Structure 1
Amino acid sequence: MSAPSTPSLPAAAAPGRTLAAWWQALPLTTVFALFFLVPLALIVMVSFWDFNEYELLPGFTFKNYIAIFEGCSNTSDWCVTFKTYFSTFKFSFLVWLITLVVGFAVSYFLAFHVRSSSVQTLLFVLCTIPFWTSNVIRMIAWVPLLGRNGLVNQTLMGMGTIETPIEWLLFSDFSVVLAFVHLYTMFMIVPIFNSMMRIDRSLIEAASDSGATAWQTLWNVIVPLCRTGIIIGSIFVITIVMGDFVTIGVMGGQQIASIGKIIQVQTNYLQFPLAAANAVILLAIVLMIIWALTRMVDIRKEL
């Protein structure tokens, strides 16, 4: 009669494998801690410090957070902080909506209307050409086009369409949104295109065989299966636009406010604790937006 065999531990539970997994994660964990957690902790700490014209005063005070929302208790009119956040949310929403429509349309064309994989690759690379140059150069390129004496105004006046130059083409909300869409649409195209390429084409054929129209197939089959890509692209676009200050400064003619712009100005005037408090509030809002978006899908399936 043979002795009963002792059950062996699963491979994943073996001590050696567990220790090796920790060692493999250590470099990335160290980089994440040094370049993200430590700077973030310093920003939070400095946001509670006091300051004057000459130096920072380490301590613990809510003075900076109170100063940010000073005057916001008046219900008859919005304070500067609320107006600035509203402007930032407005740009984020408009850019998100436009990039979503454009990104979805481009991705749909590449995934379902271009049959050749080589042509798909070629067209996809063409979409990335704007990223071969600096963001600042791409923004400045709009100035000679949209300016008062720019190409657009000169062409419209030459055609007799307008008699005087259009003022709102440059240094306005329109130019800021246009520059944002130009700069960040690719962040929406890539994840949506990746999701569309994973869709089983037999599902689309089954929907067509069941009598579904093109719009019904798009809305009931393709869009739900692309939801993860849409959420990832939305996170990219919204988080970048929420913290951007260069695009708003250049294309808005330094006349349009945003939270990122306020933080930049406060940093230039050496008001580091006040800028840190604004950064903490902005980070908290962005994290809440990301949390709400990630509740809709399981992003780990896409990754």
Structure 2
Amino acid sequence: MTTTTPAAAVPEASSLTARRRRTTLWLVAPGVIWMTLFLVLPILMMVYVSFWTQTTFKVEPILTTKSWVTFFTSETYLGALWTTIRIWLTVLAATIIVGYPTALFVGLFVRNKTLQTVLLVLCVIPFWTSFLIRVLAWRPMLGKEGAINLILQATGITTAPIEALLFSELSVVIGMTQIYCVFMVGPIAFMMGRIDQNVIEAARDLGAGFGRIFRTVILPLSMPGVVVGAIFVSVMVLGEFATAAALSGRKVNMLGNIIVTQVGSLKWAFAAVVGVVLTVLMGAVVAGLLRVVNLRKEL
């Protein structure tokens, strides 16, 4: 015996599908409009301005590649690009080295939820003060007569102040690591808190030691948190300029510092070139990190 669909049901189903499609479009439209106005159009405008003709005192909308050629043929600007990449990789590694054990302790070994919250709040306390104050606070810590050098000399570890602690690339890395480490701790601790303790107990019952449990259970399950933290840290470090200027004595030039200098000199075309390069670099880094873990599936 066969059943047939009533003819009236077909138009009704089509009408329902059309209404759902319209509803979906109305829900998506605000986000699409917002992203178009405040992300896509500014980026397209920046690319367009990067091809303008830049003279000493003005910039004209006459298309040329002179600014691009200047950037990629200058040792100064290419050096700033490699410095930015080097500092980003160093700070990213340092935040993972410092942040992962901290998140492991807070998210896995601290069972009391209240205590977990207190410890995470303690990590966020520095953000209660101004960003510039947190950056400049490192100067009296890292100076030749600063707290760190005094402690090292008092304990006999060094006999003279270490001048490389301040106004160097090392001081920039130290400052950025302290400032952005919390953005690595938070996502990893969140993922650690989602790990089912029964899985770890089952691994222990099967005779696995902590090292094997860490490699086969904890690390794979916490990788989404590492990737999210790496994205946060990468985007902020690659766009940095204030920390590098304050702690290096303007000896370390990152792409962000080049943009600030060019904008201050009203050289909009060249600043746009550096902005496009920095945007492409950020996009490549984020895309590469997203290929490590499928965040949609894991989160």
**What's the TM-score, normalizing by structure 1?**
0.90
Per-residue deviation at 1:297?
A: 1.5
Helix, strand or coil at the partner of 1:226: helix
Cα separation, 2, equivalents of 1:266 and 1:215: 51
Aligned partner of 1:186 in structure 2 is 182
Per-residue deviation at 1:161?
A: 4.8
Per-residue deviation at 1:261?
A: 1.1
Among 225, 236, 242, the alignment partner of 1:246 is 242
Which is further off, 31-40 or 249-258? 31-40
Per-residue deviation at 1:21?
A: 2.4
8 Å contact from structure 2 (residues 99, 181) kept in 1: yes
8 Å contact from structure 2 (residues 92, 230) kept in 1: yes
Aligned partner of 1:51 in structure 2 is 54
**1:280 and 2:276 aligned:** yes
Per-residue deviation at 1:245?
A: 0.7
CA deviation profile, 1:78-120 (whole Å, cap 9, x unmatched): x333322221111111111111122211111112111111111
Task: Tell me how large the CA RMSD over aligned residues is.
Answer: 2.2
Per-residue deviation at 1:236?
A: 1.2
Q: What is the correspondence of 1:1-150 to structure 2 with a 5 Å cutoff? A: 4-5=5-6, 6=9, 9=13, 14-70=17-73, 79-150=75-146
Among 198, 204, 213, the alignment partner of 1:208 is 204
Cα separation, 2, equivalents of 1:289 and 1:95: 14
8 Å contact from structure 2 (residues 172, 243) kept in 1: yes
Cα separation, 2, equivalents of 1:41 and 1:4: 51
Q: What is the correspondence of 1:195-274 to structure 2 with a 5 Å cutoff? A: 195-274=191-270
Structure 1, gaps ≥5 residues long: 72-78
Cα separation, 2, equivalents of 1:157 and 1:106: 29
Compared with structure 1, are the counterparts of its residues 199 and 267 closer, same or farther at alpha carbon in structure 2 (3 Å cutoff)? same
Aligned partner of 1:76 in structure 2 is none
Cα separation, 1, equivalents of 2:155 and 2:204: 47
Structure 1: which amino acid aligns with 2:57? Y
Cα separation, 1, equivalents of 2:51 and 2:140: 45
Structure 1: which amino acid aligns with 2:71? I
Structure 2: which amino acid aligns with 1:223? L
Per-residue deviation at 1:25?
A: 2.4
Structure 2, gaps ≥5 residues long: none
Q: How many residues were matched structurally?
A: 295
Cα separation, 2, equivalents of 1:195 and 1:176: 29
Per-residue deviation at 1:252?
A: 0.8
Which is further off, 156-165 or 279-288? 156-165
Helix, strand or coil at the partner of 1:61: coil
Compared with structure 1, are the counterparts of its residues 216 and 159 closer, same or farther at alpha carbon in structure 2 (3 Å cutoff)? closer
**1:176 and 2:172 aligned:** yes
Per-residue deviation at 1:143?
A: 1.2
Runs of 4+ in structure 1 off by over 3 angstroms are 1-11, 154-164
Higher helix share: 2
Cα separation, 1, equivalents of 2:284 and 2:298: 21
Per-residue deviation at 1:45?
A: 0.7
Structure 1: which amino acid aligns with 2:68? Y
